[in-house]
Amino acid sequence: MVIKMAKFIDKLNKSWLKSGSQLMVGLDPDPSRFPEELKTQDNAVYEFCKGIVDATAPYVCGFKPQIAYFSSIGAETELEKICAYIRSKYPELVLVLDAKRGDIGATASQYAKEAYDRYLADAVTLNPYMGFDSVEPYLAYSNKGVIVLCRTSNPGGSDIQFLNVADGQPLYMHVAAMVADSWNADRQCALVVGATFPNEIAKVRNRVGDMPLLIPGIGAQGGDIQATVKAGRTSKGKGMMINSSRAILYASSNSDWREAAALAARKTYIAINNADS
C-alpha cells in the first residue's frame, strides 16, 4: 500500500490553524550549554532535544533542527531519532531541516535524499546561489517544502543580498521574484527573511503574496516581534514561521530547564499573537 504524504503547505496551514501559533522552535543542541544533569549522559543530545520538544510543543507550529549542530559532534543518529520522535508524537507539527544546502546535479540529489528520505523532513532550507539546477532535485519531491534563503538575518548578508542586479532591484528581491514566479510550480516553496530587517520583510511579502516566510532572528539576535508580525503577516494574519532557538533552548541551565523553555516559548507565542492586535 502506498501512503500518500501530506503536502508541506497543506500541513503548515493545518498546523497554523490547529496550534494557533506561528512560532517555530529551532533545535540547535550545544552540549557545552546543556544542564548539568545531562552533561554526563551518553544520549544527552537526544534527551535534551526531546525535553525541549515536549516542553514547547503546545506553543509552536513546528520544529527546525539545525543539521550542523548534530553533524559537528557526530550526532546524526540522534537527529534521525528526534525527527522520528517529532513525526510520531506530534505529527501535526511541521518539521523543517535547516541545512542551507546549495550544490548542483547528482550532489544536490543526494542532499535531497538526505533531507526527505533519511530524515523525512517536511521541508529543507536551501541556498539559491548556484541557481535553478541546484534546487531542481528538491522540487522533484512535489509534496515537500523548499525554503530558499532570500534576506538573511545576519549583518553580512547585505554584502551580497543588497547588490543591485540588471533591472536595478537588490539581489534578494530578484531571488524572491524568481522563487515566486518560476520555481514555485507545485506551490510548496517558501522564503527565509530575517526578523532583523522588517523593512525587507515587508517588501518581500508585498512581492510574493501569501507565500510562507521562515523568519529567524527574534530572541538572541534581537529581532522585534511587533515589527516582524506587522511586516510579515498575510492579509489573513498568517504566513509566518517565526523561529526562536537559543532564547528558548537555553532559558535555564538548571534543573528547571524544561519549565524555563516552556515559559519562554509561551511568552513568545503570546507576544506573536498579540502583536499589532
Q: What is the dihedral of CA 149, 155, 160, 161, to 10 degrees?
A: 50
Phi then psi dihedrals of residue 162, to 5 deg: -95, 0
Please indicate whether residue 50 is annotated as part of the active site.
no
Please tell me the distance from the alpha carbon of residue 214 to that of residue 200, in angstroms, as a whole number: 13
CA-to-CA dists, residue 199 to 30, 227, 238, angstroms? 32, 9, 18
Residue 2 half-sphere exposure toward CB, CA atoms < 13 A: 2
Evaluate whether 189 touches 231 at the Cβ level (below 8 Å). no
Q: Are strands 23-27 and 240-244 parallel, antiparallel or unpaired?
A: parallel
Phi then psi dihedrals of residue 117, to 5 deg: -100, -40
Q: Which residue has the cell 515566486?
A: 180
DSSP 8-state assignment for residue 179: I
Largest CA distance in the chain: 57
CA-to-CA dists, residue 188 to 3, 145, 146, 191, angstroms? 19, 5, 6, 11
Q: Which of 100, 230, 238, 267 is catalytic?
A: 100
Integer-rounded Cα radius of gyration of the chain: 18
Evaluate whether 92 touches 19 at the Cβ level (below 8 Å). yes
Catalytic residue numbers read 100
